[in-house]
Structure 1
Amino acid sequence: MVDDELPLLQELRSYPWETFGAVLVGEAENGEEALALCCNRAPDVVVTDITMPLMDGLTLFREIKLRHPETQVILLTCHSDFAYAREALRLGALEYLVKVTLDEADMGRALDKARQALEKERSYRRQASRERRREQALGLAALLKGQPDMAATADLGPFGPFARISAEEPAVLTFPMRFACLQVDAAPDDLLFVREDLQELLEPLEAQHGLTGLWVGESACVLLPPPGLSEARLRSKLEAALGRLRELVETRLTFYSREVRLSVILSEPVDDCAALAAAWRTAKLWRLARFYEAEGTGKAAADEHAGGEGAAARGGGPATPTVPRASLYTGRPLPFARRTDRIDADFRALMQPAAASSSARAALLREALPRWCARQRLLPDDLRSLVAEWYVAHASEPLRASAGDTARRILAAETLSELVSVLVHAFEREAGTPETSGRREVRETILYIREHLADPLTVTLLARHVGLSSRYLSRLFREESGESINEHITRLRMQQALRLLSTTNLKVYEIAERVGIPSYRYFTALFREHYGMAPTDCRGG
């Protein structure tokens, strides 16, 4: 509030600002004081008189628009000031109010108008910023591919897109530098939706930690830090941002059909565009390496569940260690090997007891096989195809009908642990172990899911409910059921949605909420993927 008349300031001070959805953050008696307050407090709205000493209201208005373009200005005027008020409105002032007739209702309406103008301006700025970032991402993607000429065409001048995001924001690409790649692992059909959600979650974290995120693909976001950060400080920022992002994913993105996994790869220092492209190629290797790196380095199984040494007692055998779902990697991963005839022969010899004797399978699959795979370190696609081919060739008669489905699961395994779980489940089916005789924790997990299908369900929540770590429960669940926890939840939600569509008159978005999927767009896409038709086509079916 700005006015040189103390009685009016006192009257305005007594207004019930909270009922207007506003907070009074400062008072001034002239334009100079008000301008200093605007620099310190960054108000959304300034309510100012026109006629004042030192700096009048119109001059103040012009200075505010020059220095703080988002701030909305409401003018207070006497009858004799109408000509000034009309001029201010022409220049962009929000509203003018007459002092002698001013009441709370007038102020409330003016503030509502200010709120609408602020939201419109901020929406425009967000859209413009996102468009600039999209252009920058195209240029950066070209640089990462080693195509600087294509990057230069994304804006005026060589590497122009990276000079600034806006006049108020710092440079985002200066050499020497490091970059970080946020890698997102999710179901392929989910990635587009996941990216949109993650982009929204990332924006406040970027501002908080001084990072600039540019999506260079559906599953990769390059995080560019401000220049001059030490490695220790950069690591601290990345770990804090990644940890918070992981928490947000855990609490808000609980409805996707597969678990959303996050990791960040921090590059070595790069001095030019050629080094930038080389560092990107190294970062891409981590996507393959995480197939093995996610298995850890052999720490004790007791770390993998809350019960300590109770894994064997529960019938689970030694747990395969995994690292947290959100991890920070740096440097170059260990090299990979290609599949050869000698490796194929070694694998067949290793697996011969599994094909011949059920008693030898458990230890072989859970212990010897992971050790052999980690030692050989085949390219993940080579290993998956080797295992799938062996399984189809050696599946016994009871499993031949489903051998193709098991092979497809092996080929889709995202980690070595998941691949082993698929094999264990397949051979346990051959042994005829009924599901009802399985582990108590898995049965309790399934029951809890059925009773809370409409609620946000996370692996962490379920693991806490049954007293295991999330990693250990995930492994047990897949081994016993043949599907991941997220896949099981999604299948039940789709079945329930189909029942509700067929037996009720609930709107589609209401059914989506009842089955625990708050995103209408994602629910519709997921339903179509499962049943080959839109939800609206299932009415009365």
Structure 2
Amino acid sequence: MDQAFKLLLVDDEPLALRRLRSFSLASRGFVVVGEAENGLQALEAIDRLRPDIVVTDIGMPVMDGLELLRRLQDKPAPPKVVLLTCYEDFAKAQSAIRYGAEDYLTKVLLSEEEFVKSLEKTAESLRKEMAGSERLLRLQLRELLLYPSEDNAASLKRAGFDAGQAAIAVIRTERPLPSGYAEQELFAEAAGEGRCLPVQMSACVWCLVFRSAPHVRDGEFYGRYQAQCARIGSRLRKEQPAGGFVAAASGICYRTEDLPSAYRCAWERSEAGFYEEQGEWIEGDPGRSWVPYPAESFRRLLADIGSAAAAGDGEEAAGLLRQWMAAVSEAYRPEPGQARQMALELADRLDGFAKASPDEAGPAPGLTERLRRKANEALHAKALLEEAGALADLLARRYPGGSMRKEIKEALRLIARQYADIELGEAARRVNLSPSWFAALFRNETGRSFHDYVQQYRLDQARKLLETTDLKVYEIAQRVGIPNSRYFSRLFLEHAGAPPLDYRKRASGST
């Protein structure tokens, strides 16, 4: 059965109240949560009990039913009102309808069937309004959480949202939850209690806004909140409807204006879950702060992996990849965004195996695609590093050692590190060969002249800078070692099939 609708009965006649209580309401989805003898008492009870429907007599001392009805219209999200009277009074019936009464009944000959029918009609109207109101609340909550402002908080309050005691849980999944699964199954129990509002923030991010019932102490509310989170987490771990997930909970807040801070708290805790076991609810603040991976160290690592890929040396590339894995898991603790970005850049460099060994079965882009996908979706370092480890094993098996001479391997490392200003004579000197012998060996080992290889490498780097930065064309030309921007643009057109700016627009999806 759906959640029961709460009734408040208001009448100054004890016999009338007793008769209404005698009707079989519970089995029809209605529960009496309180009684009042007049409109003034009813107003106090409404604030305290939050009934869905108020059944009130019209004629009462202190404050009659019509005045109560008028007062309720000034409240945000007022309850529905069914008016009772001892006699037919067309003028009062008109007033009742004008002030928003849902129904008007004469109680002299009122039968249980007639009363329940009126309540069911009122409940149906309430359901429709609640559905529309809930959709509006979700939209306004999402707006407030993403774009905090006093205006957005005020709009939410006008829509009937009162935070009271509130807390927020953030659930992030690797893939979108199946259509309908989240609200109809996963969050149904929590939402069914009427104090939890699921809000979808993006395809793979859900925010659960929990609110306390009136007069519930902090400890009791937090206990219920934790219990609901635990049940949701248990189901996600058991069913795994969207791969891995991370979930985190905020502390309690007491004002609608504080909800964005609670959301940020839960989000930051979910980020800290990157280094925790999969499927754990993160409730406290992280015990350790982020330790970034040094930029210069990573730049050198990328250069070395790029040269290993160019040399077709899978064992060396695998060793360097494992070196990065150990640094992330042991020496440092980079923010999740940095760890994911590093994995994407490593995958780009490892694509060089396709160029080094174009005839091998299973080209390198296929090898690195899983790492890219995991970098984009991974919520835990363990899952990302496991994928990197699997790629390292595969590279070592598929491209063992490589047959390239060590002098040329070293030259490729040198190019990867100093491509913007490297010259043939300097490279030959660094590997202890004469320029002429080095040039011949380089062409023999790589299939290209030193000049062509360096130029290709510079243009590849320029392509990446166009895709990932807002640098001007002349700045990119200087950075990659081709300072004449007109000459650079001509070379780039031959390399990429489009001028630099057109390539950037195409890469960004612009027209």
Take 2:33 and 2:182, find their aligned partners in 1: how far apart are those partners?
38
Does the alignment pair 1:258 with 2:249? no
Question: Does the Cα contact within 8 Å between 1:214 and 1:223 map onto a contact in 2?
Answer: yes
Take 1:224 and 1:39, find their aligned partners in 2: how far apart are those partners?
22
Per-residue CA distance 1:44-85 (angstroms, 9 max, x = gap): 222222223333322233234444753222222233534322
Does the alignment pair 1:104 with 2:112? yes
Map of 2:326 onto structure 1: 371
The change in CA–CA distance for 1:372 and 1:194 in structure 2 (over 3 A counts) is: farther
Question: Does the Cα contact within 8 Å between 2:177 and 2:241 map onto a contact in 1?
Answer: yes
Map of 1:161 onto structure 2: 152
Out of 95, 116, 119, which is 2:124 matched to?
Answer: 116
Map of 2:28 onto structure 1: 20
Out of 275, 283, 300, which is 1:341 matched to?
Answer: 300
Out of 198, 220, 232, which is 1:248 matched to?
Answer: 232
SS in 2 for 1:117: helix
Question: Does the Cα contact within 8 Å between 1:72 and 1:93 map onto a contact in 2?
Answer: yes
Which residue identity is paired with 2:373?
A
Take 1:120 and 1:28, find their aligned partners in 2: how far apart are those partners?
28
Map of 1:418 onto structure 2: 383
Per-residue CA distance 1:131-172 (angstroms, 9 max, x = gap): 4335435644xxxxxxxxxx7xxxxxxx53345621565799
Shift of 1:106: 0.4
Identify which range, 423-432 or 48-57, moves more after superposition. Answer: 423-432
Identify which range, 79-88 or 380-389, moves more after superposition. Answer: 380-389
The change in CA–CA distance for 1:398 and 1:107 in structure 2 (over 3 A counts) is: farther
The change in CA–CA distance for 1:421 and 1:135 in structure 2 (over 3 A counts) is: closer
SS in 1 for 2:81: strand
Which residue identity is paired with 1:260?
F
Shift of 1:379: 4.6
Does the alignment pair 1:381 with 2:341? yes
Give 5+ residue unaligned stretches, structure 2. 1-8, 212-217, 252-259, 399-511
Which residue identity is paired with 1:92?
G
Take 1:379 and 1:250, find their aligned partners in 2: how far apart are those partners?
28
What is the CA RMSD across the aligned residues, in angstroms? 5.6
Does the alignment pair 1:409 with 2:409? no
Shift of 1:40: 3.2
Does the alignment pair 1:79 with 2:87? yes
Does the alignment pair 1:186 with 2:174? yes
Per-residue CA distance 1:412-467 (angstroms, 9 max, x = gap): 233553344336556489989xxxxxxxxxxxxxxxxxxxxxxxxxxxxxxxxxxx
Take 1:100 and 1:285, find their aligned partners in 2: how far apart are those partners?
62
Question: Does the Cα contact within 8 Å between 2:138 and 2:198 map onto a contact in 1?
Answer: no
Shift of 1:239: 11
Question: Does the Cα contact within 8 Å between 2:233 and 2:281 map onto a contact in 1?
Answer: no
Map of 1:175 onto structure 2: none
Map of 1:477 onto structure 2: none
SS in 2 for 1:262: strand
Question: Does the Cα contact within 8 Å between 1:50 and 1:75 map onto a contact in 2?
Answer: yes
Per-residue CA distance 1:193-222 (angstroms, 9 max, x = gap): 89988997799699969xx99987656689
Fraction of identical pairs, as percent:
22
Shift of 1:408: 0.8
- Counting only pairs closer than 5 Å after superposition, residues 86-235 of structure 1 correspond to structure 2 as 86-137=94-145, 139-140=147-148, 160-163=151-154, 165-167=156-158, 182=170, 184-187=172-175
Question: Does the Cα contact within 8 Å between 2:170 and 2:206 map onto a contact in 1?
Answer: yes
Shift of 1:18: 1.6
The change in CA–CA distance for 1:215 and 1:162 in structure 2 (over 3 A counts) is: farther
The change in CA–CA distance for 1:202 and 1:372 in structure 2 (over 3 A counts) is: farther
Question: Does the Cα contact within 8 Å between 1:184 and 1:262 map onto a contact in 2?
Answer: yes
Take 2:327 and 2:57, find their aligned partners in 1: how far apart are those partners?
80
SS in 2 for 1:248: helix
Question: Does the Cα contact within 8 Å between 2:86 and 2:108 map onto a contact in 1?
Answer: yes
The change in CA–CA distance for 1:261 and 1:243 in structure 2 (over 3 A counts) is: farther
Take 1:128 and 1:244, find their aligned partners in 2: how far apart are those partners?
24
Shift of 1:124: 3.4
SS in 2 for 1:27: strand
Take 1:237 and 1:3, find their aligned partners in 2: how far apart are those partners?
33
Identify which range, 58-67 or 365-374, moves more after superposition. Answer: 365-374
Question: Does the Cα contact within 8 Å between 2:245 and 2:279 map onto a contact in 1?
Answer: no
Shift of 1:410: 1.9
Question: Does the Cα contact within 8 Å between 2:343 and 2:371 map onto a contact in 1?
Answer: no
Which residue identity is paired with 2:290?
P
Out of 55, 72, 95, which is 1:47 matched to?
Answer: 55
Question: Does the Cα contact within 8 Å between 2:314 and 2:396 map onto a contact in 1?
Answer: no
The change in CA–CA distance for 1:199 and 1:217 in structure 2 (over 3 A counts) is: farther
Take 2:36 and 2:269, find their aligned partners in 1: how far apart are those partners?
57
Question: Does the Cα contact within 8 Å between 2:103 and 2:118 map onto a contact in 1?
Answer: yes
Shift of 1:342: 5.6
Take 1:208 and 1:197, find their aligned partners in 2: how far apart are those partners?
16
Shift of 1:240: 8.4
Per-residue CA distance 1:344-367 (angstroms, 9 max, x = gap): 549999xx9x9569xxx9xx8998
